[in-house]
Amino acid sequence: MKTPLQFIIFFITSALVIQTTKAQVDQGAIDATEAYFTAKMCDDFETLINLTLPDLIDQAGGRDRMMTALSKIHNNQRSKGILLQEFKIKEEIEQTKTKSETHVLIPTVTISKVPGGTVTTESHLIAVGTESNSKWYIVETSSLNEFNIQKVIANWDNSIMLPFKKSPVFKEDK
């Protein structure tokens, strides 16, 4: 039988291990999110594809077609004067383990330059950790809801609720 002191030491040690593991998972997801936004800002389509779930690349018709689609989206935004300038990761990160994946819901704020001002958008990304969280993929949630998310993330189990979408905020240049 364990003494009260042994129980307290065991409890504290267990809590520290859980916190350390959570911090490691969060950091891997955060690193992938930062790489994702940096790639978007630098037009690094190769990195964006590497951070895209393989199933989505297959659905797009392969890497070459995905590269073409990303290039078209980028060129369309640039021709309209839209340029991602800044991103921030907020602290209210949620995570869960499902089957062989870790899902991390990451709240973000982006600021984009648009004709006549800036647009600030609060949204969420989902970082999907695979291979014991050694590989991370990023999924934007702008067009996802509880009814279609499993078409994108097959192992999604709804243990994390997708937040309501917020409208972007336009701030006119002075």
**pLDDT tens, per residue, the chain with 174 residues:** 555 555 455 445 444 444 444 556 679 999 999 999 999 999 999 999 999 999 999 999 999 999 999 999 999 999 999 999 999 999 889 999 987 899 999 999 999 999 999 999 999 999 999 998 999 999 999 999 999 999 999 999 999 999 999 999 999 998
Beta-bridged to residue 95, according to DSSP, are: 104
Contacts made by residues 85-90, CB under 8 angstroms, sequence distance 24+: 85/41, 85/111, 85/112, 85/113, 85/118, 86/110, 86/111, 87/37, 87/41, 87/111, 89/30, 89/33, 89/34
Residues 51, 33 contacting (CB under 8 angstroms): no
Enumerate domains of the chain plus CATH numbers: 4-172 (3.10.450.100)
pTM of the model: 0.83
